[in-house]
Structure 1
Amino acid sequence: MRRGFWPLALALGAGGCVSYPAVPPPSGAVPAADGPGPATISVMTYNIEGLTWPARTGRRPSLEAITAEFARMEQAGELPDVIVFQEAFSTSALRTASATPHPHFALGPRARTRSGLPRTRDPVLRKRNVLNGEWGIRFMGSGLAVASRYPITAAFSQAYGPTSCAGLDCLANKGILLVRIAVPGYADPFEIATTHMNSQGASKAPPEKHLAAHNAQSAELAAFLDRVSTIASPLIIAGDFNMRRSPARLDAFETQNGYQLARRYCLEAREDPALPSCDIRMSFDGDEPWLDTQDLQIYDNGATIALRPMRIEAWFDGPDSGGRLSDHDAYVVTYAIEPAPAG
């Protein structure tokens, strides 16, 4: 899937604003830590319901409570190493995303960021319904952000195409954000990406149109990773994929993006004693639990580093885990960092 890394200058020059750095380049090389690196890396994805007025009102107290809980988690040694956010649209939501205890931060596409991609040829998507928000104007950015315990050495982002959306989702500049982080003790950077894809019924678009938009975004995500991601790096993609109860969306997505689902591995590990175990600390029912949620994590090994989900859990889903402060739970996966299999 991933062809390898283009140098940043080439990535910036290809197709106008196809990708751009969301943070300034580091002032110098990140020194390697003495001794071995950490044995795990943990990633939280959290849609914080940070919509602006008039879509949402009264969110500030809950967003401030999320910020306070992040601080408490860090003091208790519970805060994941990387947090990726969706729907960080409002001022309060952006403040929450940028106010984690982690020192490194990157933002995704803004409202005026152009994707540089051509308009789709799909006749279903080319026909706009202006009464349903398909105006060709983005009033909000992507709402994407990443906060990291480890230094961010590069960041790339891309908005989805100008007609690769359906219904009310077209009012936001949804897209993709990928960062490279330097984990002490490892020569190759780790890549963490996040996205927020077109919603289903909430978009108020007819099913055939919001499915076409999602399929177009799946293809654009795959092409973005093909351009920007380097095969040497382990990759984790976490976000709001909006594929709940939609096998058609999942099938099209996996055709384009053939990475491993963390939940699928954990289900296989539960049923196959030959596989290293995965500690499941959340609701996990049925044969395809990944279709029970919008929030997913997928991963791919690097050239020398392999990733293996060893624990999955929900946070902000009740009084014992931060309280329910958004219309989404936070979803956390802890990955074991292992040598990549030979060959």
Structure 2
Amino acid sequence: MKSLTKMSLATAAAVVVLNLSKPSPAAAPERPFASSVRDDGTLSVMTYNVKGLPFPLAYGRAEALGEIGNRLRKLRREGRQPDVILLQEAFIPEAKAIARRAGYAHVLLGPGVKDAPRDVAQPDTFVQNASWSRGEAVGPQVDSGLVILSDHPIVKASRMVFPEAMCAGFDCLASKGVVIAWIAVPGRAEPVAVADTHLNSRKASGVPVARANVAFTRQVEAMRTFLRRQVDPHADLILGGDFNIGGDAERIAATRELIAGGQDAAETADGPPDQQRDLAAIRERNKDKLYHRGLLRLRSLEVPLGEGTGKDAFSDHLGYVAHYKLS
């Protein structure tokens, strides 16, 4: 939410409350797409920060988000749609509507404002030094912006919001956290756990980097604990989202071995020759991640909506897909 740094908290909060709807029920596709659902022993998962921020924090987003949905729908018509998509910053209705426009039958919304923990028994110095003018200490005003879309049934779900002791700056205005969907993949006796997250930003949070990094490190540890408690250690797990790691050494160290035995798809596999510039940009930025563990075998990467320029015309992130073979 970089634009928040240019606005007062009161103005930003008012705009957000007026422009963002509460989480809506899972959207049904406009028409069934059963024939396009694959059952071939593979699973493809996309992570995509769609920049679904309201006006005036971002401009022209309704049109751009609609185009993202159209592009994903085109992939479906070609039989190339990802089986699962992890969205971040899907705050406004037009962002959540990507599910309907792209034809996904199963949709899971991430945590909302009501899911945020309200009480801190023993506030530490970090909480006591919260800055109201930078969005801290007022509580989240909007949902997490996390949405999981799936062609396969979602048979179970779990959500967690980072408490105020684990957020810094303007990020505290959103109910950032983690959402897990257990997905019934054809041919598998047990569902695959797929988690989506969006971690605290760095400079864009509006507070000193040192403070933002404390929140980030706490979020990573909380997420590790949450995943250990929710997902069997021997089960297949995919964890994706906008991790906001970048080139920060402290953040790189904090996310090392994020899930035991896990692999970072962007650093492990490669994609088509004509997508190398897009993939290089994703790796260099080091924010959008897909980690996996278990019996999933990573085969390749793809940037299906990229244009080979290292940038996306409709978002400030490039969405990419990891293709897995189910052992």
Q: Distance in 1 between matches of 2:210 and 2:310?
A: 38
Task: Please show how residues 3-42 of structure 1 align to structure 2 within 5 Å.
Answer: 38-42=40-44
Which residue pairs with 1:327 in the alignment? 316
Partner residue in 2 for 1:263: 266
Which of 280, 283, 286 does residue 293 from structure 1 map onto? 286
Deviates more, 1:128-137 or 1:249-258: 249-258
Distance 1:212 1:99, change over 3 A: same
Superposed, which structure 2 residues align to 1:126-141 within 5 Å? 126-141=128-143
Matched residues in 2 for 1:178 and 1:256: separation?
Answer: 16
Is 1:196 aligned with 2:190? Answer: no
Task: Decide which of 273, 278, 282 is 2:276's aligned counterpart.
Answer: 282
Mean Cα displacement is larger for which, 158-167 or 317-326? Answer: 317-326
Instruction: Evaluate the alpha carbon distance shift between residue 256 and residue 62 of structure 1 in structure 2; reply closer, same or farther with a 3 A threshold.
Output: closer
Q: Give the drift of 1:127.
A: 1.3
Structure 2 matches for 1:165-314, cutoff 5 A? 165-254=167-256, 257-258=259-260, 259-266=262-269, 281-283=275-277, 290=283, 292-301=285-294, 306-314=295-303
- Matched to 1:311, the amino acid is S
Change (3 A) 1:68 1:321: farther
1:223 is paired with a residue whose SS is helix
Shift of 1:321: 11
- Secondary structure class of the residue paired with 2:247: coil
Structure 1: runs of 5 or more not aligned: 1-21, 25-35, 268-277, 339-343
Normalising to structure 1: TM-score of the pair? 0.77
Given that 1:69 and 1:322 are in contact with CA atoms closer than 8 Å, whether structure 2 keeps it comes out as no
Separation (CA, whole Å) in 1 of partners of 2:310 and 2:249: 30
Distance in 1, Cα, partners of 2:163 & 2:100 = 27
Structure 1 Cα separation of the partners of residues 69 and 203 of structure 2: 30
Query: Partner amino acid for 1:237?
Result: L
Are the aligned partners of 1:23 and 1:155 in contact in 2 as well (CA < 8 Å)? no
Shift of 1:112: 2.3
Query: Which position in structure 2 is the counterpart of 1:4?
Result: none
Q: CA deviation at 1:318?
A: 2.3
- Counterpart in 1 of 2:88? 86
Instruction: Give the direction of change, closer, same or farther, for the CA distance of 1:158–1:71 in structure 2 (3 Å limit).
Output: same
Greater share of helix residues, 1 or 2?
2
SS of alignment partner, residue 76 of structure 2: helix
Determine helix, strand or coil for the equivalent of 1:73: helix
Matched residue type, 2:290: Q
Give yes or no for contact 1:138–1:172 (8 Å, CA) kept in 2.
yes
The 2-side partners of 1:66 and 1:252 are apart by: 32
Distance 1:213 1:143 in 2: 18
Look up the equivalent residue of 1:315 and give its one-letter code: P
Asked if the contact 2:312–2:318 (Cα under 8 Å) also holds between the matched residues in 1, the reply is: no
SS in 2 for 1:254: coil
The DSSP-based 3-state class of the residue aligned with 1:282 is: helix
Does the 8 A contact of 1:42 with 1:334 survive in 2? yes
Shift of 1:257: 3.4
* Structure 2 CA distance for aligned equivalents of residues 264 and 319 of structure 1: 19
Q: TM-score, normalised by structure 2?
A: 0.81
**1:274 corresponding residue in structure 2:** none
Cα deviation code 1:4-31 (max 9, x no counterpart) = xxxxxxxxxxxxxxxxxx989xxxxxxx
Q: Indicate the residue corresponding to 2:102 in structure 1.
A: 100
Q: Distance in 2 between matches of 1:47 and 1:72?
A: 19
Q: Give 3-state SS (helix, strand or coil) of 1:215's partner.
A: helix
Inter-CA distance 67–330: structure 2 relative to 1 (3 Å threshold): same
Provide the C-alpha distance between the structure 2 equivalents of 1:255 and 1:125, rounded to a whole number of angstroms: 28
Q: Secondary structure at the match of 1:217?
A: helix
Contact persistence 2:265–2:290 (CA under 8 A):
yes
Per-residue displacement from partner, 1:158-177 (whole Å, max 9, x unpaired)?
A: 11112211111011010101
**CA displacement 1:277-324 (0-9 Å, x = unmatched):** x767433559xx7453310110110xxxx1122111223332899962
Q: How far apart are residue 113 of structure 1 and its match?
A: 1.5
Which residue is 2:29 aligned to?
Answer: none
Structure 1 residue 111: deviation in Å? Answer: 2.0
Q: Secondary structure at the match of 2:232?
A: coil
| Percentage of identical aligned residues | 30
